[in-house]
Structure 1
Amino acid sequence: MGLAERRKALGYSQETLAGILGVDRTTVGRWESGRIEPQPPQRRGLAIALEVSLQELDVLLTGLRATGQEATGQQSSDHQRAGDTDEMIRREFLRILTVSGALAALPADEAGALTDGGLRRTPADFERMNSHLWQVYHLARSKGSVYPVIRDQLKALNEELAGGGSRSRSLLSPAADLFQMAGEVAFDGNRYTDAAASYSLAASVSRDAAAYDLWACALVRHAYLDMSEQRYRQAAQVLGAAERLAGRGDSELSTRHWVASVQAEAFAGLGDLTACERALDRAEKVRDLTAGSTNGGWLRFDGTRLAEERGARYVQLGHLDLAETALTTALAQTALSSGQSYRRRGAVLTSLAAIGAKRRDPDQVLVYGREAVGLARASESGYVARRLQALCVELGPLSGDRRVAELGAEIATLSTL
């Protein structure tokens, strides 16, 4: 049974189901044809409407993926759905995971004697390339455009591991770094299964390398997957493990402060204001660190985003005046003229639009929401699109305003990016 069959079994038309979920009828049609999938904020409502569990909904969607690919008769481009049908990168991931376990288990002299060949590229070469890729990733409007380069870097890394040599074990950290970047690209593109696999592999290889900060950061990124589907308790558990790992890492790095910042989001999702503010206060202490507390790659937390983080947490908790003060400050800090990312500014704008929705102020929703939609289109960011999809849940009481209804329809189309 597919989505359409389940809908019909319950006596719903596409229009009726769309009305229940607050989406356009054509969106329901795309779901049922397998051309797009519901965003995480929509899945829970869809499962409830269809009277199935989230796991059962996933089963219904699984059969539609292949159908949708056959119906379009097209292969997805790298920057749109990179990795959906590309098994090569998964094989590269798994190969590095297998080799890293062997290298970690063997004594150093035996690991270096796997082959007689020397390395053509040193670990430092890979670290420099990874650092460059992170810079490209953060500056790119379309994050998926970095995917082909990540794939090539993985292939080169595997070739070096196959070559062996006394420094093979030192390649584990660059591999874990690269996995995290691949996970970020997948997460931004709404490919949660690929993102979860990438972060899990990053954590596994970081463990083999005894790289506690890398390991903690992989867990932080994995926690975002749970929070994207509102599994805040599970996220808090993962972040608790990340906090302990960060405590064993380099005290000069900002890892533990980033963990605290993300813990604040999990606590806000659980409705715990006290724990949220304590976590934010711990995160604020990043300002006491000296220069060099971040590496510009897998660890970038330097406190510059704390105003928007605090504002977003207050929105979650319903403290709208406190949220607006923090977010207005953050918006000034994310002016595009200063070179800040579309993704970051889009998130702040969406939070300000959410405040307008909670206040039943359509003008505030429209001012901030329209700009956020424009940035989501310009950047092709799945992250901003997800934030806007979550905003749609708040727009229900304002749906009688034609302008707000039109904005909701625009947001619904972002899922096709």
Structure 2
Amino acid sequence: MGFTQESLAAAVGVEFSTVGRWERGALTPQPWRRPRIATALDVSLDELDALLGPVSADAPTSPSQLSTGQEVPGQSHGTSLALPGSASTGVAGYDPTAHVDVGASPAEFLKPLTLDVQPPRRVGWAEVEQVRLMTRTLAASENLYGGGMAGEAGLAHLRWASRLLSSQAGTSVEAGMFEAVGNLAGVVAFSAFDVGNQDAAARCFRFGLWCAEQGGSWELRAATLADMARQAIYLGNLDDALSLIEFAQVRADRLTATARAMIGVVRARLLAMLGRHDEARAEVDRADEHFVGRQAETDPPWLIYYDEAEHAGSSARALTPLAMTDKRPGDAAGRLETAIRLHSDAYPRSRAFSRTRLATLNMTIGDPWEAVDIGRQAIADAPMLHSRRMSEELSKLVRACEPHLSIPEVAELSDFATSAMTNV
């Protein structure tokens, strides 16, 4: 039929190594696998059974029939596998060469598992660095692939790390631990925000803000309030967002130049959305001045992402309402082009956002043919991201295409974007 092991495995829903074991005769496909195999190979079930051999009369016919402790069909030497819930906790008599089946689904197999590991009674800088390492790893994953896996894994890390806050520690270590756990909470919150779980995001943001206050970290407090303002903007609560970002600017003298630039851009975006365009433009100019004066080596870990590319892309969002009013892409488009050019491969989501926004801007008030070229690149980047926000950006692009659907290339782009939305 022209299949490779990998492509047949994908069609049937197994690992490609399983197909290899079928071919070698080391393993016989379970009954519930056979209908998909028959469909893929374009044979009837009877023909497939004739090729593979009859199904044993006592073999289970569905994954759910592999109940606790039941012998798994196809295992050699009578070896049985104790599934979750079995009274057996040992591995005596288990044949490591035998086929292992975990039942209905891997998720159900692992669901009952818990690890109750008690936190140390006293923590030091080593534990603080452990939390920081978790946070860096999760933030890198979230930037690369969106908030799905990073949020789920991060929440488990956050639950564990929060228990360290009750351990004994010296004054400086205690402050460092609160700051580290608060930063972790912010990454988990933004991951939840990215995939659309707004309740979880709000709770984690609130916890992160509490940690920042307990640890006396003005920098983390300001960054968390800025993220909370972004969520409020997303939810349409512009008055709340304006209050949050202005709270973030309290004691701005304690913040790095990068933090002041980042906060200023969020406030500029709000002012633009409220129709206060002159104030928004002035706020962007001030943010630019702060950014020019930044010293990246003095920035805390949660501001590492805010580089020249991020500043360009974020300030472009603040200037987009002004561009729409003037009906000229202008500075907003120029900054998005800069962001696209400067975003490193560590931030593909940010680059995809900037490309999609630039395509939407050009499709709305610029050159639709240029928008098509940019939009195609954005759509090529989108499938690797698990991000509801990305899906919504693509939806905006689809709406912007509607007045130009008589152009075949635009109609094709709209179809591609619609299809990509379901895969993000």
Q: State the partner residue of 1:255.
A: 259
The one-letter amino acid of 2:260's match is: R
Change (3 A) 1:391 1:270: farther
Matches for 1:9-408 after TM superposition, within 5 Å: 117-119=121-123, 122-130=126-134, 132-133=136-137, 136-137=140-141, 140-166=144-170, 169-170=174-175, 171-244=177-250, 246-247=251-252, 250-252=254-256, 254-284=258-288, 285-297=290-302, 300-317=305-322, 318=324, 319-334=328-343, 338-359=344-365, 361-408=367-414
Change (3 A) 1:156 1:329: closer
DSSP-derived class of the 1:271 partner: coil
1:299-323 CA deviation, whole Å, 9 max, x = no partner? Answer: 6434443333343333322241333
Counterparts of 2:415 and 2:385, CA distance in 1: 19
Change (3 A) 1:304 1:162: same
Structure 1: 5+ residue stretches without partners? 1-73, 78-84, 89-114
CA offset at residue 76 of structure 1?
11
Counterparts of 2:309 and 2:244, CA distance in 1: 24
The one-letter amino acid of 1:218's match is: T
The one-letter amino acid of 1:383's match is: R
CA offset at residue 227 of structure 1?
1.9
- Provide the identity percentage: 17
The one-letter amino acid of 2:299's match is: T
Please report the TM-score for the alignment, with normalisation by the length of structure 2: 0.63
CA offset at residue 158 of structure 1?
3.4
DSSP-derived class of the 2:300 partner: coil
CA offset at residue 346 of structure 1?
1.1
**Contact 1:236–1:266 (8 Å) recurs in 2:** yes
Structure showing the higher helix proportion among its residues: 1
CA offset at residue 214 of structure 1?
0.8
1:95-135 CA deviation, whole Å, 9 max, x = no partner? Answer: xxxxxxxxxxxxxxxxxxxx993237745324532453255
Change (3 A) 1:230 1:364: farther
The one-letter amino acid of 1:239's match is: I
User: Whose relative contact order is higher, 1 or 2, with alpha carbons under 8 Å and at least 6 apart?
Assistant: 1
The CA RMSD over aligned residues, in Å, is: 3.3
Counterparts of 2:153 and 2:216, CA distance in 1: 27
DSSP-derived class of the 1:188 partner: helix
CA offset at residue 149 of structure 1?
4.0
Counterparts of 2:383 and 2:192, CA distance in 1: 18
Please report the TM-score for the alignment, with normalisation by the length of structure 1: 0.64
Whose radius of gyration is greater, 1 or 2?
Answer: 2
1:49-107 CA deviation, whole Å, 9 max, x = no partner? Answer: xxxxxxxxxxxxxxxxxxxxxxxxx9998xxxxxxx99x9xxxxxxxxxxxxxxxxxxx
Report which stretch shifted further, 225-234 or 342-351.
225-234
Alignment length (residue pairs) = 305
Counterparts of 1:76 and 1:222, CA distance in 2: 35
DSSP-derived class of the 1:292 partner: helix
